[in-house]
Amino acid sequence: MTLAAKKLPKAKYGDLSTRLWFLLGALVVFRIGAHIPVPGIDPQVLADLFKTQKNGILGMFNMFSGGALSRFTLFALGIMPYISASIIMQLATIAVPQLEQLKKEGEAGRRKITQYTRYGTLGLAFFQSFGISIALQAQPGLVLTPGGMFQVTTMITLVTGTMFLMWLGEQITERGLGNGISLIIFAGIAAGLPNAIGGTLELARTGAFSIPLVLFLFFGAIAVTALVVFVERGQRKILVNYAKRQVGNKVYGGQSSHLPLKLNMAGVIPPIFASSMILFPATIAGWFGNSEGMGWLKDVSQMLSPGQPIYVLTYAAAILFFCFFYTALVFSPKETADNLKKSGAFLPGIRPGDQTAKYVEKIMLRLTMV
């Protein structure tokens, strides 16, 4: 018994080490793929295009892809098609009765929904890669040899990259540490951190930024990170009691537990959706605003550019809407109340069933508003 107890920590740490090395190896593969370019693109013209669109939707997608889009590499589409397909599938499980029933079938139903999400990712990746190949050929001098061959090559390359990233994220979840898709997104965003730090230090060296300002930015970043961690880990615990029941000569239940409700149930989805909703029409308007008779599109693009009052108000309203919308999508008070009732649990002072659902919904609305 003592020998087994001594071996257990070693086995645990050995498994942790294996998972950590797998995670690091997967992230290295991700960064390598983010530097393998798609053939047929003039890199200088592409760089000039992104300089003019860095505050638009291209800049946002480029951030999530870890700079792969600005270099137009194998992973230029990033993992966004998978995220979009996942959200669409979550909506479908509410709107389509067959999928809603499938969701209730446990592990087998979850595997089928995951497979449908993969099919949706493939379809969205094909659609987006087709649109990108058309848009790139419309930019003067960007594509070296425009035509059908470039379009087919681009579509195959981008779709393959997205599907590989989806598979890599699933492997990280299964064999590595944490949620693979979230870690890939984090790695893409964090890839730009060294350049940002280097640029700030260079501005401080040349005197453009004062030392107090640099220190303020440094400690401000730490404070914001700490606040994000605090909010993400924050939860409201609702006391749950279990009714006593007698089976033979034994009495079960009579214990207390907690129902944890996260403070930020929607996560980062609301700002991502809000940015996409605002920046996409603004970017399209900017592209076609120079056409004859389309000058008003240029005005729309300028009004919706980051920093403008209309952009700030629209962005805040969109985040608020998607926050409540997505929270209602991923958390069902009615389903939670039913599960509590089936397990013989109840909230003190609240009747099981509809009253419990209304009480949990009221608390969830307050948490979401905070």
Q: What is the pLDDT of residues 228-263, one digit of tens each?
A: 888 888 888 888 887 766 556 665 556 778 888 888
What is the C-alpha separation between 13 and 47, in angstroms, rounded?
A: 45
State the Cα–Cα distance between residues 229 and 50, nearest whole angstrom: 32
Give how far the C-alpha of residue 284 lies from the chain's centroid of Cα atoms, to the nearest Å: 23
Q: Which of 110-114, 186-190, 285-289, 317-321 has the lowest mean pLDDT?
A: 285-289
Tens of pLDDT, residue by residue over 2-55, are: 544 455 455 555 688 888 999 999 999 999 988 888 888 888 888 887 777 666
Strand, helix or coil for residue 189: helix
| Amino acid, single-letter form, for residue 190 | A
CA gap 292, 367 in Å, rounded: 50
Residue-wise pLDDT tens digits, 93-109: 877 888 888 887 778 88
Average pLDDT over residues 110-132: 89
pLDDT at 343 over 80: no
| Mean pLDDT value of segment 258-282 | 77
- CATH value of 15-188 in 1.25.40.10, 2.60.120.260, 1.10.1470.10, 1.10.3370.10: 1.10.3370.10
Q: Give the DSSP letter of residue 236.
A: E
Q: Are 340 and 300 in contact (CB under 8 A)?
A: no
Portion of the chain with pLDDT greater than 90, in percent:
12
Model pLDDT, residue 21? 92
Domain assignments of the chain as residue spans, ordered by start: 15-188, 192-233
